[in-house]
């Protein structure tokens, strides 16, 4: 867990075999809330009236242009409570905490990574590299196993290519071992070119052909 892994972020993290957090990670926020805005007062200010006819009170009960029906409010409240109970049960099972211990850290409270460690919400403090190393150990993978990153693509091409060269599998995002042998050789060649092209933040190769191995400086 890096900058923030709270509420839904912690719910997801609870399914992990092991949780590593930064010391300043914002986490916890084990809680649930519901929000249903209504605008009937706005209509009144505009002198707009409304009326409806239905065979059941649930028909149109969620319309924001009218005051929320108290029966609907009870349904929404019970849904929130059930979801909160589910959240707490997941945390209790995953972190081996009893109901009292969970409630002591839940109810929407937010903790830093260091505080979460004290409260048994995470297993240890560490960096992203520590998490990668541990993931390799748990997966029984070699220490130098490559990593494919999923997320927002950097806005500039230079950053994107540098990141690709830093943790490289192959240019198509596939597992190299699954490619035909000639393609594997081309991938290894391109990897070498990329790793040696970036020096002091500058790129010495602007184009490289996998066909004839020629580079353009």
- Can you give the residue range of the structural domain that contains 64? 1-145
pLDDT for position 187:
62
Contact 163/187 with Cβ under 8 angstroms?
no
Instruction: Tell me: do 102 and 198 sit in the same domain.
Output: no
Instruction: Indicate the SS3 state at residue 180.
Output: coil
Instruction: Tell me: do 15 and 109 sit in the same domain.
Output: yes
Structure confidence by residue, pLDDT tens digits, 32-80? 988 878 777 777 777 777 777 777 777 777 777 778 888 888 888 999 9
pLDDT for position 174:
44
Instruction: Tell me: do 91 and 23 sit in the same domain.
Output: yes
Instruction: Tell me: do 202 and 111 sit in the same domain.
Output: no
Instruction: Tell me: do 125 and 159 sit in the same domain.
Output: no
Contact 156/136 with Cβ under 8 angstroms?
no
pLDDT for position 118:
95
Confidence check: pLDDT of 165 > 70: no
Q: Which of 189, 140, 139, 147 is nearest to 166 (CA)?
A: 147
Confidence check: pLDDT of 169 > 50: no
- Domain end call among 145, 177, 200: 145
Structure tokens at 114: 């260091």
Confidence check: pLDDT of 175 > 50: no
Q: Which of 93, 154, 97 is nearest to 120 (CA)?
A: 97
Instruction: Tell me: do 163 and 119 sit in the same domain.
Output: no
- Domain end call among 86, 120, 145: 145
Instruction: Tell me: do 107 and 158 sit in the same domain.
Output: no
Contact 18/134 with Cβ under 8 angstroms?
yes
Instruction: Tell me: do 21 and 74 sit in the same domain.
Output: yes
pTM, entire model = 0.60
Contact 148/61 with Cβ under 8 angstroms?
no
Instruction: Tell me: do 107 and 154 sit in the same domain.
Output: no
Q: What whole-number distance in Å separates Cα of residue 74 and Cα of residue 80? A: 10
Confidence check: pLDDT of 127 > 80: yes
pLDDT for position 155:
59
| DSSP designation for 46 | T
Instruction: Tell me: do 141 and 155 sit in the same domain.
Output: no
Instruction: Tell me: do 212 and 117 sit in the same domain.
Output: no
pLDDT for position 209:
61
Q: What whole-number distance in Å separates Cα of residue 106 and Cα of residue 99? A: 10
Residues designated as active site:
7, 63
**What is the total count of domains within the chain?**
2
Q: Which of 20, 4, 6, 17 is nearest to 131 (CA)?
A: 20
pLDDT for position 154:
55
Instruction: Tell me: do 91 and 138 sit in the same domain.
Output: yes
Confidence check: pLDDT of 180 > 60: no
Which domain CATH number covers 6? Answer: 3.90.226
Mean pLDDT of 156-171: 54
- Domain end call among 145, 168, 192: 145
pLDDT-based confidence at 97, cuts 50/70/90? Answer: very high
Q: What whole-number distance in Å separates Cα of residue 49 and Cα of residue 108? A: 39
Whole-number Cα distances in Å, 66 to 47, 54, 62, 91: 14, 14, 8, 38
Q: Which of 159, 86, 147, 120 is nearest to 18 (CA)?
A: 120
């Amino acid at each position: 867990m890096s900058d923030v892994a709270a509420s839904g972020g912690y719910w997801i993290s609870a399914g992990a075999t092991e949780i590593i957090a930064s010391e300043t990670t914002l986490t916890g926020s084990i809680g649930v809330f519901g929000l249903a805005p209504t605008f009937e007062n706005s209509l009144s200010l505009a002198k707009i009236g409304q009326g409806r006819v239905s065979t059941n009170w649930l028909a149109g009960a969620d319309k924001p242009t009218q005051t929320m029906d108290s029966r609907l409010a009870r349904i929404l409240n019970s849904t929130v409570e059930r979801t909160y109970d589910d959240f707490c049960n997941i945390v209790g099972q995953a972190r081996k905490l009893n109901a009292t211990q969970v409630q002591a850290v839940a109810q929407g409270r937010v903790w830093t990574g260091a505080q979460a460690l004290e409260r048994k919400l995470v297993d240890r403090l560490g960096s992203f590299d520590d998490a990668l190393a541990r993931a390799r150990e748990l997966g029984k993978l070699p220490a130098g196993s490559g990593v494919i990153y999923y997320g927002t693509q950097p806005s500039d091409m230079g950053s994107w290519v540098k990141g690709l060269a830093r943790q490289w599998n192959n240019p198509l995002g596939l597992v190299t071992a699954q490619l035909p042998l000639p393609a594997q050789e081309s991938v290894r060649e391109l990897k070498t070119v990329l790793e040696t092209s970036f020096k002091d933040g500058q790129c010495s190769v602007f184009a490289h052909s996998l066909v004839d191995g020629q580079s353009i400086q």
